[in-house]
Amino acid sequence: MKMRALKIGAAALFTLGLGSGAAIGATSGHLEQQEWSFSGAFGTFDRAALQRGFQVYKEVCASCHSMKFLSYRNLQDIGFSEAEVKAIAAQYEVPTIDDNGDETTRKALPSDRFHSPFANENAARAANGGALPPDLSLMAKARHDGPNYIYGLMTGYHEAPAGFVLPAGKEYNAVFAGNAIGMPKPLNDDQVTYADGTPATVSQMAHDVATFLMWAAEPKLEDRKRAGVKVMGFLGILTIFSFLTYRKVRKQVQGH
């Protein structure tokens, strides 16, 4: 029953929350801007947060949501060792064809894409009341203010204010458009046990998984920022030399 509840909660989180374009277009409440290590021109991803976020995705979200643009070997970019990546991949079976041409399975390799929880879209819809859980690979970039929205949605469950009519089967969420969301609260304190000992509060888990989804959507963000800094530095030096050259030429012209 516990695993079923987690599965339903994870599916509802992204199917009814992140998966709804109407819900993203405008939020009912103000999105509080969180502090993100990757913000700003010199921002970088917090590797510890990324690994914790992957753990939340793996244990809570992956039962319903694919990340089809990621391979297990990509996890080395967030600090997992080659051996750890092999061990993570080996937990999953992938379909293959044996030497006799028969369908079979094998343990996943680091080069394989992340395991998809359903064989196809029809199977996914059948398991989720007709709704299709969206792929999460690009979710943080596909939604306006993605990391803050993801965090806000996952932590936005409160008692409905006085006078608010909550439809049957709905829960109040301060961020979700209309405030009435058809999913149970997806995260609860200590729902996962972090390998690094970090207390698994709702806020911490929401922040970590939002960080992980941001990295998944833009894994080259740090490279892009480093390139941008180098370009700006080059342009700054070029500007100085151009100005000095201009002054020298101007003096020569004025001297004549």
CATH number at residue 193: 1.10.760.10
Report the alpha-carbon distance of residue 240 to residue 231 in Å, rounded.
Answer: 14
> Within this chain, do residues 133 and 65 fall inside the same structural domain, yes or no?
yes
Q: What is residue 9's predicted lDDT score, i.e. its pLDDT?
A: 46
Residue 193 lies in a domain: yes
Phi, then psi, of 196 in degrees rounded to 5 = -90, 5
Residue 36 lies in a domain: yes
pLDDT band at residue 245 using 50, 70 and 90 as cut-offs: confident
Residue 171 lies in a domain: yes
Residue 80 lies in a domain: no
pLDDT band at residue 229 using 50, 70 and 90 as cut-offs: low
> Within this chain, do residues 136 and 242 fall inside the same structural domain, yes or no?
no
**In terms of pLDDT, which residue wins out, 243 or 138?**
138
Residue 149 lies in a domain: yes
**159-189 pLDDT, tens digit each:** 999 999 998 888 899 998 899 987 678 899 9
Task: Report pTM.
Answer: 0.79
pLDDT band at residue 156 using 50, 70 and 90 as cut-offs: very high
Residue position matching structure tokens 């180098």 = 230
> Within this chain, do residues 138 and 229 fall inside the same structural domain, yes or no?
no
> Within this chain, do residues 127 and 253 fall inside the same structural domain, yes or no?
no
The mean-pLDDT minimum among 66-80, 154-168, 233-247 falls in 233-247
> Within this chain, do residues 154 and 63 fall inside the same structural domain, yes or no?
yes
* pLDDT over threshold 60, residue 2: no
Residue 90 lies in a domain: no
* Count of domains for the chain: 2
The domain of 194 spans 2-70+113-219
> Within this chain, do residues 144 and 210 fall inside the same structural domain, yes or no?
yes
Positive or negative: CA dihedral 208, 214, 216, 221 = negative
> Within this chain, do residues 214 and 245 fall inside the same structural domain, yes or no?
no
Residue 82 lies in a domain: no
> Within this chain, do residues 57 and 172 fall inside the same structural domain, yes or no?
yes
Residue 141 lies in a domain: yes
**In terms of pLDDT, which residue wins out, 28 or 79?**
79
pLDDT band at residue 27 using 50, 70 and 90 as cut-offs: low
> Within this chain, do residues 179 and 117 fall inside the same structural domain, yes or no?
yes
> Within this chain, do residues 40 and 127 fall inside the same structural domain, yes or no?
yes
> Within this chain, do residues 245 and 126 fall inside the same structural domain, yes or no?
no
> Within this chain, do residues 256 and 151 fall inside the same structural domain, yes or no?
no
Average pLDDT for the chain: 85
